[in-house]
Structure formats: structure tokens, C-alpha cells
Amino acid sequence: MAISCGISFQPLQATEKLPNQPTLLSTWENLVFQIEDAKCRVGIASVKLSVSELKPEGGYLVGEYSIVIPLMKSKNDRGRILLPLDSTVGELGENGGVLRGQAISYKEGKTPNRIVCEILPQKDQTILLAITTEDRTINFESRYSVAESTRNIIAQADMPVTDHMQ
């Protein structure tokens, strides 16, 4: 019995950029989603999900995941999450939204799994992740926060101090 995750992947079309109009990506530039670890049960097996910060890259929300199944260590998995952006962070935070993408395993020869990420409005700060594999869909519920990216803070810390910064 294999335990894996996947949901139908329906690629979202990129919106056309008008001259002098900011892209959706620019509204995510310094923000990331931080997701708490989650777990669920599949039969008697506990399944644990960890997701790194989800950050904008090339029109996608990108991060890494790890799935740990203590009773079936051979089914443990790590990989990359790609979620096409179709809303701004403000819209997702205020109104919630659904992002559909892929969970791509680092294991050779594995087919990408589908992932659906439902973000409930920020006052609830709940995120529902459904990962569909060829065997089943595994549903996780967790909490999230939106924070400033640490990569920008690190980049700023490495900058030399100039007269106008003092």
C-alpha cells in the first residue's frame, strides 16, 4: 500500500501585463507564507507534513515540503511545491483563495503530485492542503502567517553602511 499525495493540476493562465502596470509578483516581493507543521492519519499511519516558507519566484509561490510516515519510512518524501499565483497577498489574506499546483518529489522517476492549497481569510489563518497521489488524496489542516522575507533582511545586513544610512 503506497501513501502519496496529489490533486488535479489545472494550470492557471498568467495575466497579461499592461504597460506600467505592476505584476502580481511585485505585490508578493517581500512577503512569504509561513505554514505550521501538520499531521493527519491514513488508516493507522500518522502522516506528518512540513512546508518551508512559500515565497514568490517567477509567478509562482515556491517552497519545499517533507512528508514523514513513521510506520512506513520507505514512503517518506521530500520535494518542491509550485503554486501559480492568481491573487495578490492582500486579496488572499482578506478574502482567502485557492491555489492549485504541483508537489514535485526529489526522488527520481516520481510523477509530480497535485496539490490544492486553500487559504482561509487571515482572521482565521487556516490553510487546507490537499495532496493527491495516484493512490489517494491526503488532507492536512494547518495555520499560516504572512511575514516579511528573511532573504531581504539578510541581504540588507550584508550591505555596507553608507553616510545616508547613518
C-alpha closest to that of 125 among 39, 49, 51, 33: 33
pLDDT for 53 equals 92
Q: Tell me the pairing of strands 97-105 and 77-84.
A: antiparallel
| Domains with residue ranges and CATH for the chain | 27-155 (2.40.128)
What pLDDT, on the 0 to 100 scale, is given for residue 3? 40
**pLDDT for 90:** 61
* pTM (predicted TM-score): 0.71
pLDDT at 13: 37
pLDDT at residue 153 in the model: 39
User: Other CB atoms closer than 10 Å to residue 155's CB: what's the count?
Assistant: 10
User: For residue 40, what pLDDT is reported?
Assistant: 95
Cβ neighbours of residue 31 under 8 Å, at least 6 residues apart?
56, 89, 146, 147, 148, 149
CA distance 108 to 79: 11
- For residue 95, the surrounding DSSP H or E stretch is helix 89-95
C-alpha cell at 115: 496539490
Q: Judging by beta carbons within 10 Å of its beta carbon (0-12, 13-18, 19+), is residue 17 exposed, middle or buried?
A: exposed
Per-residue pLDDT 10s for the chain (166 aa) are 344 443 333 333 333 333 333 344 444 457 788 999 999 999 899 999 999 998 888 888 899 999 999 999 998 999 999 999 877 666 776 788 899 999 999 999 999 999 999 999 877 889 999 999 888 899 999 998 888 776 543 333 333 433 333 3
- The continuous run of DSSP H or E covering 51 comes out as strand 45-51
Structure confidence at residue 82 (pLDDT)? 96
